[in-house]
Amino acid sequence: MPAIYSKAPGKIILFGEHAVVYGQPAIAIPVTQVHATARVFPILNGRPGDIRIQAPDIHLDSALSDLPKDDPIATAVQLSLETIGLNSPPAFKLQVSSTIPIAAGMGSSAAISIVVIRAVSDFFGRHLQTDDVSQLTYQVEKIQHGVPSGIDNSVIAYQKAVCFTRDKPIEFFDITGSTHWIIADTGEKTPTRVTVGDVRNRYEEERETYQDYFNRIGAITQKAKQGLIKGDKERLGNLMDENQHWLAQIGVSSQSIEHLIEAAREAGALGAKLSGGGRGGNIIALSPSGEIETITAALLEAGAKRVIKTILTQGEGS
């Protein structure tokens, strides 16, 4: 059995976070400038069932059998083996690594599960369909994150822009032209489950108001999908600003977010908003093609801890 290699990108949400939890659509794109990789090698002369897991980024080097049951990499390996019907596979070594920032709303955990599931199943000659890989990853994500919406496993497994609505089939759409996105990290972190929980409490207290906010964000996301389809950057930028307004209303913005957004807009961004759970984390700005370096410099000057630039190009959306 030859060694197998698998690679998956990170992701970023463009529109619709939080509202997506309440049944509204959200749009996310792959970020190919960062990625997770997995390699599987045979262990020659190993005993059947011997599986070694190595993830140097997190200082992990362990037998699968010594890992906790809920370890995400162990879970992804077990699910893959169950799916392909192997109880006692020939011995193998799995090496995992990732350049996707951890706990930064860039899909690091989903990408790692995806590469593990693909590499392990391919190693045994059982190539799984993208939808199966996505569904298995969702199961791993549930163990780690409670009830995630499912957007991360979808956008990363398919490696295409997606419009995602809970309990509905994922929508892919054709985009026109290229759009340049700049992702800047505020350096502050609030776990997504905390902001999601806070929004839930506020929603329980003021249902009508919050339902109205979610509906408005949903309508913005639908318009943004049309903006991407038509390649209308000015419109997309305006819609980002509108989306940010409502995210601030629902209480998930913060000073550091507003500060970076302001810096991006002043440096020429067509629009900017927070991305993901909020109260820290990343902002995302839409850049005219000639202003990428100016906006990047302005964001770093304003205190961004890390800036990642990515392009969404025609053909990646469908």
> Given the complex with ligand PMV, which of 191 and 231 has the nearer CB atom?
191
Burial of residue 146 (number of CB atoms within 10 Å: 0-12, 13-18, 19+): exposed
* CB-based contact 141:113 (threshold 8 Å): yes
> Given the complex with ligand PMV, which of 25 and 122 has the nearer CB atom?
25
- Among candidate residues 71, 122, 152, 185, the one labeled active-site is 152
Q: In the bound complex, which residue of the shown chain has the CB atom lying closest to ligand PMV?
A: 276
- To the nearest whole angstrom, how small is the minimum distance from the Cβ of residue 31 to ligand PMV? 11
- To the nearest whole angstrom, how small is the minimum distance from the Cβ of residue 218 to ligand PMV? 12
Pairing mode of beta strands 26-42, 4-15: antiparallel
- To the nearest whole angstrom, how small is the minimum distance from the Cβ of residue 63 to ligand PMV? 31
> Given the complex with ligand PMV, which of 25 and 277 has the nearer CB atom?
277
As a three-state string, the secondary structure of 18-61 is CHHHHCCCEEEEEEEEEEEEEEEEECCCCCCCCEEEEEHHHCEE
> Given the complex with ligand PMV, which of 101 and 277 has the nearer CB atom?
277
Distance (Å, whole) CA 306 – CA 87: 43
**Beta-carbon contacts of residue 46 (< 8 Å; ≥ 6 apart):** 90, 91, 92
The two structure tokens encoding residue 97: 């690594």
- List residues binding ligand PMV (CB under 6 A): 13, 17-18, 20-21, 105, 148-149, 151, 192, 196, 276-277
- To the nearest whole angstrom, how small is the minimum distance from the Cβ of residue 1 to ligand PMV? 35
Does 66 participate in catalysis according to the annotation? Answer: no
- To the nearest whole angstrom, how small is the minimum distance from the Cβ of residue 13 to ligand PMV? 5
- Which DSSP string do the residues of 114-161 spell out, in sequence order? HHHHHHHHHHTT-PPPHHHHHHHHHHHHHHHHSS--SHHHHHHHHTS-
> Given the complex with ligand PMV, which of 154 and 192 has the nearer CB atom?
192
Which active-site residues does the annotation give?
A: 152
